């Protein structure tokens, strides 16, 4: 299950107005436990020989062989092909294990609704099929229904005392909801059933971290890396421990290690982004924000972070484009975008009229209390004063221009009069201009 971690917009206020500031440390928000990959049922046609007819057994064996052949070849799994194989089995005969395997194929292709229906139907036909129960819970987590997933896992824990996965997943949900004692107990129970359970160890490491038991959290994370050296969450947790100890350099190294294992592992990328914002390392902010948006293009706060970074690295027009995207995605839920836009107009483009409009939009969106606690009112007053001074200066310049034009006209008239008087004294006929006068 992947949940978007949100950049705290308040962290960007200091960067938006160009002064130092601080924010929460990386990892302050709960991260979801990594999902347990769906896997085919272990059942074979022979296991259900009494209930399955010969044609069903033959088709089941063919589908299972197709699946095993792909594994042996080491090629990417052709889930569409396997879906057709399992549907052929079910067209011949309703077999719960085949229905479950169809659900796996559908889930791997992104058809979560179809997969859920397949798991539920397999479980209804064969309540002892624990694979279907566990995968149904994982799928509900993917769909964001943690409550329903907890109910499914709790039933699996009750109905399948030997199952470690349901305990591991339920422990992760308990930890995410702050029920640390229950999470610890269930993770320990999972390890009693499967000492190699990476998920249970990760729950223990995170619970220890949340309790402030940093040495224990680090020990569990390092030990578990031996079980799963390619799991990016483990160096990430080690990085969280170092961050809690104040070692930002060491934490960043662990986050980068996590990204080296999985370039799209967003918790590490978010942690690096937050650190870059705190340190006002705007080039790094732009780098990490851009990487996140390639995976989460609808993350409004990250668009805002990218905009602030672009403003600082001398790309104001691109910054305004990022602010516009952030506003479109988040609306009034992200009032800081108005403040950032106002600061850009005021300090980069020297244009206080749209800046004042942006500061007032921020005050409307943030509310009077929040606006009073921010620099927006002060900046608005500064801009209003600048506009008034500019207006007075423009009026003064206009008046000076009028005075200069009037003086020039008077000087021209005086000069013309002197020329006419001189010509008359000398007996010179007046010019046509003088005649006209």
Exposure class string for 288-327: b at 16+ Cβ within 10 A, else e: bbebbbeebeebbbbbbbbbbbbbbeeebebbbebbebbb
User: What confidence tier does 23 reach under pLDDT thresholds 50, 70, 90?
Assistant: very low
What pLDDT shows up at residue 168? 96
Q: Do residues 40 and 66 make contact, with C-beta atoms less than 8 angstroms apart?
A: no
pLDDT in tens, 295-333: 999 999 999 999 999 999 999 999 999 999 999 999 888
Q: Do residues 196 and 224 make contact, with C-beta atoms less than 8 angstroms apart?
A: no
Average pLDDT, the chain: 85
What pLDDT shows up at residue 334? 92
Classify domain 64-146 at the CATH class level. Answer: mainly alpha
Q: Calculate mean pLDDT across residues 53-70.
A: 91
User: What confidence tier does 371 reach under pLDDT thresholds 50, 70, 90?
Assistant: low
Is the confidence at residue 128, as pLDDT, over 50? yes
Q: Do residues 111 and 79 make contact, with C-beta atoms less than 8 angstroms apart?
A: no
How many C-beta neighbours within 10 Å does residue 45 have?
Answer: 21
User: What confidence tier does 380 reach under pLDDT thresholds 50, 70, 90?
Assistant: confident
Could you give the CA distance from residue 148 to residue 73 in angstroms, rounded to a whole number? 38
pLDDT in tens, 200-235: 999 999 999 999 999 999 999 999 999 999 999 999
List the structure tokens of 47.
């296991």
Of the chain, the percentage scoring pLDDT greater than 90 comes to 65
Could you give the CA distance from residue 22 to residue 29 in angstroms, rounded to a whole number? 16
Q: Do residues 387 and 370 make contact, with C-beta atoms less than 8 angstroms apart?
A: no
User: What confidence tier does 277 reach under pLDDT thresholds 50, 70, 90?
Assistant: very high
How many C-beta neighbours within 10 Å does residue 194 have?
Answer: 16
How many C-beta neighbours within 10 Å does residue 426 have?
Answer: 7
Is the confidence at residue 410, as pLDDT, over 90? no
pLDDT in tens, 68-116: 999 898 889 999 999 999 999 999 999 999 999 999 999 999 999 999 9
Could you give the CA distance from residue 226 to residue 382 in angstroms, rounded to a whole number? 59
Of the chain, the percentage scoring pLDDT greater than 70 comes to 84
What pLDDT shows up at residue 421? 75
Q: Alpha-carbon dihedral of residues 273, 276, 281, 285, nearest 10 degrees?
A: 10
**10-17 vs 266-278: helix axis angle to the nearest 10?**
40
pLDDT in tens, 133-148: 999 999 999 889 999 9
Q: Which residue has the higher pLDDT, 18 or 25?
A: 18
List the structure tokens of 325.
């995207």
Q: Do residues 329 and 300 make contact, with C-beta atoms less than 8 angstroms apart?
A: yes
Task: For domain 217-277, give the fold.
Answer: 1.25.40
User: What confidence tier does 430 reach under pLDDT thresholds 50, 70, 90?
Assistant: low
Q: What is the DSSP string of 174-187?
A: HHHTT-HHHHHHHH
Q: Where in the chain are the domains?
A: 64-146, 217-277
Q: Do residues 275 and 248 make contact, with C-beta atoms less than 8 angstroms apart?
A: yes
**130-142 vs 146-159: helix axis angle to the nearest 10?**
160
What pLDDT shows up at residue 26? 29
Could you give the CA distance from residue 392 to residue 386 in angstroms, rounded to a whole number? 10
CA angle 166, 175, 261 (to 5 degrees): 80
| Stated pTM of the model | 0.75
How many C-beta neighbours within 10 Å does residue 69 have?
Answer: 10
Q: How far is CA 215 from the centre of its chain?
A: 30
């Amino acid at each position: 299950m992947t949940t978007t971690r949100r950049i705290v917009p308040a962290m960007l206020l200091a960067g938006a107005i160009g002064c130092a500031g601080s924010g929460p440390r990386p990892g302050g928000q709960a991260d979801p436990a990594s999902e347990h990959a769906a896997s085919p049922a272990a059942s074979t046609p022979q296991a259900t020989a009494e209930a399955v007819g010969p044609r069903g057994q033959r088709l089941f064996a063919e589908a299972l062989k197709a699946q095993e052949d792909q594994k042996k070849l080491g090629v990417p799994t052709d889930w569409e092909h396997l879906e057709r194989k399992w549907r052929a089995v079910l067209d011949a005969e309703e077999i719960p294990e085949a229905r479950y395997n169809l659900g796996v194929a559908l889930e791997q292709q992104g058809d979560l609704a179809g997969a859920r229906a397949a798991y539920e139907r397999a479980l209804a036909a064969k309540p002892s099929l624990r694979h279907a129960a566990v995968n149904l819970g994982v799928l509900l987590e993917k769909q964001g229904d943690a409550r329903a997933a907890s109910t499914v896992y709790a039933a699996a824990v009750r109905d399948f005392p030997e199952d470690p996965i349901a305990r591991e997943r339920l422990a992760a949900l308990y930890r995410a909801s702050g029920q640390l004692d229950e999470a610890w107990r269930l993770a320990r129970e999972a390890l009693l059933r499967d000492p190699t359970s990476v998920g249970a160890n990760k729950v223990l490491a995170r619970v220890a971290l949340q309790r402030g038991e940093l040495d224990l959290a680090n020990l569990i994370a390092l030990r578990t890396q031996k079980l799963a050296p390619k799991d990016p969450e483990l160096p990430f947790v080690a990085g969280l421990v170092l961050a809690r100890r104040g070692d930002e350099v060491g934490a960043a190294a662990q986050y980068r290690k996590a990204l080296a294992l999985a370039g799209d592992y967003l918790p590490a990328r978010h942690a690096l982004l937050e650190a870059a914002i705190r340190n006002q390392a705007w080039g790094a902010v732009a780098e990490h924000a851009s990487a996140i948006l390639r995976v989460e293009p609808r993350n409004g706060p990250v668009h805002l972070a990218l905009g602030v970074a672009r403003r600082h690295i001398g790309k104001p027009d691109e910054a305004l484009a990022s602010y516009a995207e952030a506003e479109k995605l988040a609306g009034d839920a992200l009032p800081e975008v108005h403040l950032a836009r106002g600061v850009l107009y005021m300090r980069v483009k020297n244009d206080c009229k749209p800046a004042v409009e942006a500061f007032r939009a921020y005050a409307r969106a943030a509310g009077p209390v929040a606006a009073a606690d921010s620099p927006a009112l002060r900046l608005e007053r500064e801009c209003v004063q600048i506009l008034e001074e500019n207006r007075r200066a423009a009026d003064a310049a206009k008046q000076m221009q009028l005075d200069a034009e009037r003086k020039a006209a008077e000087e021209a008239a005086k000069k013309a009069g002197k020329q006419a008087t001189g010509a008359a004294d000398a007996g010179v006929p007046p010019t046509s201009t003088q005649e006209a006068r």
